[in-house]
Amino acid sequence: MNLKHICLAILPTLLLGGCYTPPQRPAEPMTQRPSYPQSPELEQGAVIAPAQERGGIQISAYEPASRVSLVPMHSKAVEALLKSANQQAQNNDLDGAVGTIERALRIEPRNAHLWHRLANLRLDQGKVMLASDLAVKSLALAGADVELKQKNWLLIARAKRSAGDITGAKVAERKARMLH
């Protein structure tokens, strides 16, 4: 240590007195509640729509829901995210790619292709059970997209095979074949 500085340190300590005003801490306890702004009043009965009486309710109640279309409906935003996920996967950043697909799924949660892509990434990471579960989800959303369904069954087969479930893998492969 620098001797000069130590000496400098010792000497003034002997000389100094209490003559410094400390910054003031709050003397009183802060008991008052913070004041938050009140929520703005909503106009009475604003957007409330009257109950709609429907004559034909009997039949419309149980009509089948519409099917998802064959062509994937990627929006531009999802398209961009898929592209960057592919880039990340190519650079071996599988975690990054997973994150990007999850982000895309927040935009299009029912896009079966995204679920399939996620399943693929998880399979590449060796998370076979999760991969298989994700592929099942993709299947549930695939609607009439036979090709995607096939891909999902094949992915499930691969996952089952690597988990040692040979019978399960064969069943999945058969399901893929049956879709022809």
- Within residues 143-162, the interface with other proteins by CB under 8 A covers 143
Residue from 86, 94, 124, 133 binding other proteins (CB under 8 A): 133
DSSP state of 180: -
Measured between alpha carbons, how far is residue 126 from residues 85, 94, 131 in Å? 18, 11, 8
CA separation for the pair 155, 117 (Å, rounded): 10
- Please identify which residue in 19, 43, 167, 180 interacts with other proteins, judged by CB under 8 A: 19
Q: Shortest gap between Cβ of 5 and other proteins (angstroms)?
A: 4
96 binds other proteins (CB under 8 A): yes
Could you give the string, one character per residue 67-86, with x where binding to other proteins holds by CB under 8 A and - elsewhere?
xx------xxx-xxx-----
Of 179, 138, 130, 118, which Cα lies nearest the Cα of 159?
130
Q: Does 90 bind other proteins (CB under 8 A)?
A: no
Tokens, residue 14: 């002997």
Q: Does 178 bind other proteins (CB under 8 A)?
A: no
